[in-house]
Amino acid sequence: MDELTGNTCIICGETKQDGIHIVSEFICDACEAEMVHTDVQEEKYHFFIHQMKQIWMQRNA
């Protein structure tokens, strides 16, 4: 992976330049927008974070 060209989104797995970092992980703009759109309640947000960490751990297993 080339960090100069972008970051690998832990949600969609694509390499993007624009996005945010949460818990040291990268989420691209598209997935961030999806997450914000889904962010109806804080509980759901934390669930989303939990899911992302699971995905990340699987990818790095």
> Which amino acid, one-letter code, is at 9?
C
Q: Does 52 bind Zn ion (CB under 5 A)?
A: no
Q: Which of residues 6-35 bind Zn ion (CB under 5 A)?
A: 9, 11-12, 28, 31
> Closest separation between CB of residue 4 and Zn ion, Å?
19
> Closest separation between CB of residue 15 and Zn ion, Å?
9
Answer yes or no: are the C-beta atoms of 32 and 21 closer than 8 Å.
Answer: no
Round the CA-based radius of gyration of the chain to a whole number and report it.
12
How many angstroms separate the CA atoms of 60 and 14, rounded?
Answer: 16
- Give me the residues that bind Zn ion (CB under 5 A), please: 9, 11-12, 28, 31
